[in-house]
Amino acid sequence: MKPLNLFSWINRRSYSQKFVAIGLLFALALTGFYPMSRDQLLRREQYGVKELEGTLYLRPLQQLLADVNEYYLLGMEADSGPAANSRREQKVAAIDASLAEANDWHEQYADSLRLGDELVTIEATWQDMQTAVAQGQPEAMQESYTLLNTQLLQLINRVGDTSFLILDPDLDTYYMMDASLLKLPELQNLLNQTAQIIMVAHLENELSASDRLQLIALDSQIQTILTKLQSGMATSWENDPTGQMRPLTEAPLQELTAQVQAYNSLINEQIIETSSRMIIQPDLMDMSGAVNEQLAKYYEGTSQALELGVNNRIDFYGSRLINALAIAATVIIAALIIGFIQFRSISRPLQALTVAAQKLGAGDLNVRVNVKGEDEASRVGQVFNRMAADLQSTQQQLTEQVDELSKLTKSLDASVSISRQLATILDRQKLVSETIGQIQSLFNYNYVQFYLLDEAGDKLTLAAGTGQAGQELFARGHALAVGKGLVGQAAATNSPVLVEDVSQMETWVANPLLPNTQSELAVPVSVGDMVFGVLDVQDNHKEAFAEEDVALMQSVATAAALSLQNGRLYEQAQQSARHEGMLNQISQQVMAAPTMERVLQVAAQGLGSTLNVRRATVQLSRRADDGRFQEKN
């Protein structure tokens, strides 16, 4: 089935249908643009702008998760010295800064992300936690910390849903979202639980069996998350068309993995595998802080990579929207152009048909009308083209018939002329030379040669050939065995042998003096079953010989064979006459010889001269008295 072509479809319509089609095309361009542009705007809003807002909003929340836990651990310490108070004040300042940043993003994106007073509730819980720490109330501190941690995780999940981050459509940004929205908050929570258990064990100088099992379980969960992060990042890097995400996340992820592995090793060494009284070294507490710092760096890298990917998507959807506008504009412009073309198509075919009819009337049978449709004017053009084609075909057939008849007449005239000339030639060498000369002159074959069959009938000797190659071959005494090559086959089978492409014939024997031969025709020179030789023609083009050439060469070969036969009969008659004359002369001389010796001498001399021998001897025998024969020369 051929593909639908708008122009060809319009050309098949009537003029009234064309005008309707143009009007519909304008309407189609306008109505088709609206859903296309609306879809692009919606996708850009959901998976571009809103995801970017969510990415920016989540950054301070992730930092709050880590800082609140560290502040809680500092609050659990019994130390109330200046150094401990200084660390607590620094952490309070960091949490307040993160809350301030979160409030800034909340003011900008709360309505877009459909958020309420979640931050107000978080700030109130934070104030309660500070009060509990200041008053040294462990239970209240634990309660406020747990509530604050839960509120932060709920807000993170809420932002992930309302910003469409959780529905990210592309593999590269999806796994960046998965890390920043799901995996890293979960990892932070697991690390916080681990740090709390360690702090309790440090304060009590012992680790319960349940806490030991919980630490082991937490380690397993942490390892699982790291493995999933590695797998997700690999998928994201592979599907990142810009190649910019990997440099932002690969090194921080490797460093985070190494820090966590080292942290867990210290936990095993100092806590889990210790059966005696535990002494938690400061390096374990320092390592906990280092892990949180590295986690923050990795989160920053994933968040930046996610922001980069979302910005690229925004640009992509913007480009698609521009393309949609361009397509709509193009369709409208195309409709205008098509309308203009169709308006012109009403008059132009008629003008072209008028000009073509004038040329046809003047004798130009090659003129045609360019028909591109099936409307009224196109159908008239088709009828005109068929009429012109019929006229041209009729004239061409007549011309071909005349040419064919002329060629046949020329070939017959040439054949008759050659046959007439050859019929008068009795000299064999003159006959051979005249035959190849006439063929070369009249038919302009590339090479013509004439072979004669010896009296034994097993060898063909070159008698003459055209050109320098023929002269050289004749000077060499070139000869072929009967049955060898095309010439030998023609002599052996007494039938023509035609090879239209010598390269396709394995048994064809190439001649170094004729390297360009592409086709060859060998015709036996024969009368009935008597073969006198072979007439061979060659050409430098493939398929140079037609059936007419075979028939023509057979006619010439037959005429040459008849001439050779006549010449042979003439020579035999001449020789018989000479022999009879010599015999009469010998008879007269014998009759006139006076003695028997003279008779024998005359007979021997006459026979030697007639037979053309150097010595002739006559022997006589007579019976002796004893009955034996005696010979005398």
The pLDDT tens digits of the residues spanning 414-424 come to 556 666 655 56
Are residue 193 and residue 283 in the same domain, yes or no?
A: yes
Residue of 203, 211, 120, 110 lying closest to 162 (CA atoms)? 110
Highest mean pLDDT among 156-160, 387-391, 432-436 belongs to 156-160
* Per-residue pLDDT reduced to its tens digit, 116-160: 999 999 999 999 999 988 888 888 888 998 999 899 999 999 998
Global pTM value: 0.50
In a domain? residue 344: no
Q: 117 by DSSP, 3-state: which?
A: coil
Residue of 453, 445, 489 lying closest to 470 (CA atoms)? 445
Are residue 238 and residue 170 in the same domain, yes or no?
A: yes
Q: Show Cβ contacts of residue 380 under 8 Å, excluding neighbours closer than 6 positions.
A: 349, 353
Cβ pair 284, 266 in contact under 8 A? yes
Are residue 481 and residue 493 in the same domain, yes or no?
A: yes
Q: Give the mean pLDDT of 430-458.
A: 83
CATH number, position 503: 3.30.450.40
Are residue 562 and residue 529 in the same domain, yes or no?
A: yes
Write down the mean pLDDT value for the chain.
79
In a domain? residue 341: no
- 630 bridge partner residues: 622
* Cα gap 198→267, rounded to integer Å: 8
In a domain? residue 586: no
Q: How many domains does the chain have?
A: 4
Asked which of 376, 394, 421 is the last residue of a domain, the reply is: 421
Query: In this prediction, what percent of the chain has a pLDDT beyond 70?
Result: 75
How confident is the model at residue 623, as a pLDDT? 55
In a domain? residue 59: yes
Are residue 387 and residue 441 in the same domain, yes or no?
A: no
How confident is the model at residue 524, as a pLDDT? 92
Q: Show Cβ contacts of residue 281 under 8 Å, excluding neighbours closer than 6 positions.
A: 266, 270
Q: Give the mean pLDDT of 189-194.
A: 87
Confidence class for position 280, pLDDT limits 50, 70, 90:
low
How confident is the model at residue 21, as a pLDDT? 66
Q: Give the mean pLDDT of 322-349.
A: 70
Q: Does residue 185 have a pLDDT over 80?
A: yes
In a domain? residue 613: yes
Are residue 433 and residue 569 in the same domain, yes or no?
A: yes
In a domain? residue 579: no
Residue of 504, 455, 465 lying closest to 487 (CA atoms)? 465
* Cα gap 142→133, rounded to integer Å: 10
What residues make up the domain containing 439? 424-573
Looking at per-residue pLDDT, the higher value among 80 and 480 belongs to 480
Give the strand order in the sheet containing 447-453.
479-481, 459-465, 447-453, 530-539, 519-527, 497-499
Cβ pair 356, 368 in contact under 8 A? yes
Q: Give the mean pLDDT of 174-200.
A: 87
Asked which of 329, 356, 383 is the last residue of a domain, the reply is: 329
How confident is the model at residue 629, as a pLDDT? 43
Give the number of other Cβ atoms within 10 Å of residue 147's Cβ. 16
Q: Are strands 620-623 and 459-465 parallel, antiparallel or unpaired?
A: unpaired
Confidence class for position 370, pLDDT limits 50, 70, 90:
confident
Looking at per-residue pLDDT, the higher value among 420 and 270 belongs to 270
How confident is the model at residue 122, as a pLDDT? 93
* Per-residue pLDDT reduced to its tens digit, 501-518: 888 877 677 788 888 888
Highest mean pLDDT among 182-196, 423-437, 496-510 belongs to 182-196
Task: Show the CA angle centred on residue 34, arms to residues 28 and 36, nearest 5°.
Answer: 95
Are residue 553 and residue 456 in the same domain, yes or no?
A: yes
* Per-residue pLDDT reduced to its tens digit, 201-218: 777 777 788 888 898 899
Q: Does residue 104 have a pLDDT over 80?
A: yes
In a domain? residue 513: yes
Confidence class for position 1, pLDDT limits 50, 70, 90:
very low
Query: In this prediction, what percent of the chain has a pLDDT beyond 90?
Result: 15
Are residue 477 and residue 527 in the same domain, yes or no?
A: yes
Q: Does residue 539 have a pLDDT over 70?
A: yes
Q: Are strands 479-481 and 530-539 parallel, antiparallel or unpaired?
A: unpaired
Are residue 249 and residue 377 in the same domain, yes or no?
A: no
Q: Give the mean pLDDT of 553-580.
A: 71
Cβ pair 606, 585 in contact under 8 A? yes
Are residue 191 and residue 72 in the same domain, yes or no?
A: yes
Are residue 287 and residue 435 in the same domain, yes or no?
A: no
Q: 108 by DSSP, 3-state: which?
A: helix
Looking at per-residue pLDDT, the higher value among 25 and 148 belongs to 148
Are residue 138 and residue 284 in the same domain, yes or no?
A: yes
In a domain? residue 582: no
- 621 bridge partner residues: 631
